[in-house]
């Protein structure tokens, strides 16, 4: 509303307003002009919902014209006029979709969701129009076939290879009927995954556990109770308490609430998301997604969708992924069984004689943790106020890579909670703009992620620098308390900054080489988590929010000692979800499955312990049905082999050893997907990774 008024005033002030009768012209669409903002960041304050559709349509049309010019060029095909030109095409569309896709994840609403529903199949069709353009493909093929006679540098060779694969994997070699079917499948999948995500957001936002009696709050910390009161106030339920399915509300409740029935209620609601048989049920949607993916893989000559996906990853085949996960599954299950026995004993000691259920696990794990390590997770929070943790993570990045972060209060943001930083290199040169957006909102999907509004590439000899964002769902300030993080949230903040650094420090020359394979991408993020709980680092940043007191050394030692606690549980719930993902995507038949029965069979096959639920059940497994992790959820533990192995070098040479940090930056962080992942890794490490450090770290050995 304010933007409209501002424009109207400007028009009034203009000396000769040409058409006084007509209503004030709407403000110009900011996507159609160069952004004059500092560092060329998106002018969020000028972008309005109605700007997206015309900008996407124009971006698509312009991209089509650019691609048409490449395809119809009378000049003989060369690397420069075909492959390089293709990589440089579609800038406007990329500019719009960068903003659109980020906002539909972090700051969505009904209007944006409606546009997304419309746009998703259009974008899928647009991608198909390019990859299935026969004239364009003939030119790419000519360059590819003649590659032996070309003098290309390694970046160019890799770009050519990626372009070729992109066309082939996109169906360019299929006969006409096959291409038509592929188009229909891609359009269907695009719409279904939007639907899956929208349903999940709705089901997550809708549920409230309303508590009316104070005694039902027993066991919860003052901070958690204050959060519940605040949520109730927001919901118009004065003098009650509300707990939601958003992580910062749900997990502390499950850890602390003495009332078992209340724990059961909220836990059951959490694991039943997308599974209510109503119009936001996700079961039929996900079964259809799995079936269409299987059909597409077979159309393209692969046995299953997993074979299709893994061909591009380090793991290469489903057999290798299953082999790797199975190797961890048995020891993890054994450790979890011992943990369950301990928790059952703690229940008995508590005077309760019921059987341990999934809604009891967090609660009794906390009790055992307190008893065994004299460590209360909630009591750590005062030492982890959000701002200090963020500064601590920045400090680690500065010490490792010499970079600095300076807050920029005058940059436009898409929500007042978002903060912007300029990142500079050690020599003072500009590297990136970095946004952080840390708290849950109704318009934000769950989880934590790192993304880009603008990527990195080289244009006219100069590196275009990126605009990067970290989006999380951390505990909010509650009552008089600032946002105080749990250890897990602290590690997530470091994790996402690790992804951020991968973008911030990128020196990739071509946009087509920006991203490493899915199972390599978690290395830069997961390795950062190691620094979060190193005593030297904790001493620097973990200070009491009120007194400023540095976290006591004995607390640091307790944290260190308790790191392996509950790892059986964590590994089992994670591996079960990874195996479920693989099961859905190694379907070789295209007959649609009953999702509930399929999941049940998958969990029975692996002998899932009854007290543990997979980290994600199918109807809310956003990573694989509405994200980029299909047949890829295993990546986290795959990359943990890499990060545990890589971090060993820092442990041996020094946490901030300059030569090791320089090598990690130059060989991994700056390189994106510009070279084979294992080649990059070995260049840093001097050898291929070993699984031993991971087994030791998780206590599975
Ligand atoms: Zn990650």
Given a cut of 60, whether residue 435 has pLDDT beyond it is yes
Q: Identify the three-state secondary structure at position 508.
A: coil
Mean pLDDT on 120-134:
97
> Running DSSP on this structure, what letter comes out for residue 459?
E
Q: For residues 405 and 501, is the Cβ–Cβ distance under 8 A? A: no
CA of 449 to the centre of ligand 1 (A): 7
Mean pLDDT on 465-483:
95
CA of 354 to the centre of ligand 1 (A): 38
pLDDT in tens, 644-654: 999 999 999 99
Given a cut of 70, whether residue 194 has pLDDT beyond it is yes
Mean pLDDT on 401-429:
98
Q: Taking the CA atoms of 564, 569, 574 and 579 in sequence, report the sign of the dihedral they define.
A: positive
Give the chain's radius of gyration (CA, Å). Answer: 26
Structure pTM?
Answer: 0.92
**pLDDT band, residue 251 (cuts 50/70/90):** very high
CA of 499 to the centre of ligand 1 (A): 7
> Among the listed ranges 87-96, 252-261, 334-343, 475-484, which one has the minimum average pLDDT value?
475-484
CA of 430 to the centre of ligand 1 (A): 25
Q: What average pLDDT does the structure give for the chain?
A: 94
pLDDT in tens, 281-330: 999 999 999 999 999 999 999 999 999 999 999 999 999 999 999 999 99
CA of 484 to the centre of ligand 1 (A): 22
CA of 483 to the centre of ligand 1 (A): 22
CA of 523 to the centre of ligand 1 (A): 8
Q: Which two tokens stand for residue 421?
A: 């930083």
The pair phi, psi for residue 655, each rounded to 5°, is -55, -35
The reply to whether 534 belongs to the active site is no
Given a cut of 60, whether residue 84 has pLDDT beyond it is yes
**Is residue 323 packed enough to be buried (19+ CB in 10 Å), middle (13-18) or exposed (0-12)?**
exposed
**pLDDT band, residue 561 (cuts 50/70/90):** confident
DSSP string, 298-339: HHTT-SSHHHHHHTTSSS-SHHHHHHHHHHHHHHHHHHHHHH
pLDDT of residue 23: 66
Q: Considering 366, 377, 496, 599, which one is annotated as catalytic?
A: 496
Given a cut of 50, whether residue 79 has pLDDT beyond it is yes
Given a cut of 70, whether residue 1 has pLDDT beyond it is no
pLDDT of residue 15: 38
CA of 635 to the centre of ligand 1 (A): 9
CA of 280 to the centre of ligand 1 (A): 28
| % of the chain beyond a pLDDT of 70 | 97
pLDDT of residue 510: 97
Plot region of 143 (φ>0 → left; ψ -120 to 50 → alpha; else → beta): alpha
CA of 521 to the centre of ligand 1 (A): 7
Q: For residues 203 and 275, is the Cβ–Cβ distance under 8 A? A: no
**pLDDT band, residue 25 (cuts 50/70/90):** confident
pLDDT in tens, 3-12: 333 333 333 3
CA of 489 to the centre of ligand 1 (A): 13
CA of 32 to the centre of ligand 1 (A): 33
DSSP string, 65-113: HHHHHHHT-SSPP-IIIIIIHHHH--HHHHHHHHHHHHHHHHS--HHHH
Q: For residues 393 and 497, is the Cβ–Cβ distance under 8 A? A: yes
Given a cut of 70, whether residue 2 has pLDDT beyond it is no
Given a cut of 70, whether residue 342 has pLDDT beyond it is yes
pLDDT of residue 5: 31
Reference 211, options 235, 238, 241; nearest CA is 241
CA of 495 to the centre of ligand 1 (A): 6
Given a cut of 50, whether residue 267 has pLDDT beyond it is yes
Reference 657, options 547, 535, 473, 531; nearest CA is 531
Distance CA 33, CA 41 (A): 13
Distance CA 417, CA 553 (A): 33
């Amino acid at each position: 509303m304010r933007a409209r008024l501002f424009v109207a005033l400007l028009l009034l002030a203009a000396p000769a307003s040409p058409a006084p009768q007509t209503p004030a012209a709407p403000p110009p669409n900011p996507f159609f002009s160069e952004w004059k903002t500092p560092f060329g960041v998106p002018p969020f304050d000028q972008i309005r919902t109605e700007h997206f559709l015309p900008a996407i349509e124009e971006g698509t049309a312009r991209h089509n014209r650019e691609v048409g010019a490449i395809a119809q060029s009378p000049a003989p095909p060369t690397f420069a006029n075909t492959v390089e030109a293709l990589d440089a095409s579609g800038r406007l569309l990329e500019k719009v979709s960068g903003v659109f896709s980020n906002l539909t994840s972090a700051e969505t609403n009904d209007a944006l969701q409606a546009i997304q529903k419309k746009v998703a199949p259009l974008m899928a069709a647009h991608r198909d129009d390019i990859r299935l353009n026969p004239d364009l493909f003939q030119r790419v093929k000519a360059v590819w076939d003649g590659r032996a006679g070309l003098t290309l540098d390694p970046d160019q060779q890799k770009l050519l290879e990626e372009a070729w694969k992109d066309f082939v994997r996109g169906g360019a070699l299929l006969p006409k009927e096959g291409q038509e079917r592929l188009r229909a499948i891609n359009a269907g999948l695009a719409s279904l995954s939007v639907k899956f995500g929208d349903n999940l957001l709705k089901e997550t936002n809708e549920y409230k556990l309303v508590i009316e009696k104070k005694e039902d709050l027993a066991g919860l910390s003052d901070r958690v109770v204050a959060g519940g009161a605040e949520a109730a106030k927001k919901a118009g339920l004065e003098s009650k308490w509300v707990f939601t399915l958003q992580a910062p509300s749900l997990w502390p409740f499950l850890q602390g609430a003495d009332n078992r029935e209340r724990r059961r209620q909220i836990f059951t609601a959490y694991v039943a998301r997308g599974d209510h048989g109503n119009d936001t049920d996700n079961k039929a949607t996900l079964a259809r997604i799995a079936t269409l993916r299987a059909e597409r893989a077979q159309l393209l000559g692969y046995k299953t969708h997993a074979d299709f996906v893994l061909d591009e990853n380090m793991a290469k085949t489903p057999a290798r992924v299953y082999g790797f996960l199975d190797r961890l599954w048995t020891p993890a299950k054994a450790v979890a069984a011992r943990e369950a026995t301990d928790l059952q004993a703690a229940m008995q000691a508590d005077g309760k004689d019921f059987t341990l259920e999934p809604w009891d696990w967090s609660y009794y794990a906390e009790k055992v943790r307190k008893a065994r390590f004299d460590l209360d997770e909630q009591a750590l929070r005062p030492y982890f106020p959000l701002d200090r943790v963020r500064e601590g993570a920045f400090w680690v990045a500065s010490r490792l890579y010499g970079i600095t972060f300076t807050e920029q209060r005058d940059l436009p943001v898409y929500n007042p909670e978002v903060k912007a930083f300029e990142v500079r290199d050690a020599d003072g040169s500009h590297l990136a703009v970095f946004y952080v957006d840390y708290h849950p909102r109704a318009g934000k999907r769950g989880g934590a992620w790192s993304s880009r509004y603008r990527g990195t590439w080289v244009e006219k000899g100069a590196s275009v620098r990126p605009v990067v964002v970290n989006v999380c769902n951390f505990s909010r300030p509650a009552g008089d308390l600032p946002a105080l993080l749990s250890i897990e949230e602290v590690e997530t903040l470091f994790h996402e900054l690790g992804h951020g650094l991968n973008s911030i420090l990128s020196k990739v020359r071509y946009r087509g080489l920006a991203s490493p394979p899915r199972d390599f991408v978690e290395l830069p993020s997961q390795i950062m988590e190691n620094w979060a709980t190193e005593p030297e680092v904790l001493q620097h940043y973990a200070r009491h929010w009120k007194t400023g007191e540095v976290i006591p050394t004995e607390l640091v030692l307790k944290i260190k000692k308790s790191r392996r606690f509950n790892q059986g549980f964590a590994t089992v719930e994670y591996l079960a979800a990874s195996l479920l993902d693989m099961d859905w995507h190694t379907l070789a038949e295209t007959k649609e499955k009953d999702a509930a029965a399929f999941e049940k069979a998958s969990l029975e096959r692996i002998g899932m312990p009854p007290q543990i639920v997979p980290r994600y059940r199918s109807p809310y497994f956003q990573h694989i049905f509405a994200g980029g992790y299909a047949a890829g959820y295993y990546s986290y533990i795959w990359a943990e082999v890499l990060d545990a192995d890589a971090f060993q070098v820092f442990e041996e040479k020094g946490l901030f050893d300059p030569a090791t940090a320089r090598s990690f930056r130059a060989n991994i962080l700056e390189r994106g997907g510009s070279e084979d992942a294992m080649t990059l890794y070995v260049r840093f490490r001097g050898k291929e990774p070993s699984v031993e450090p991971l087994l030791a770290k998780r206590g599975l050995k």
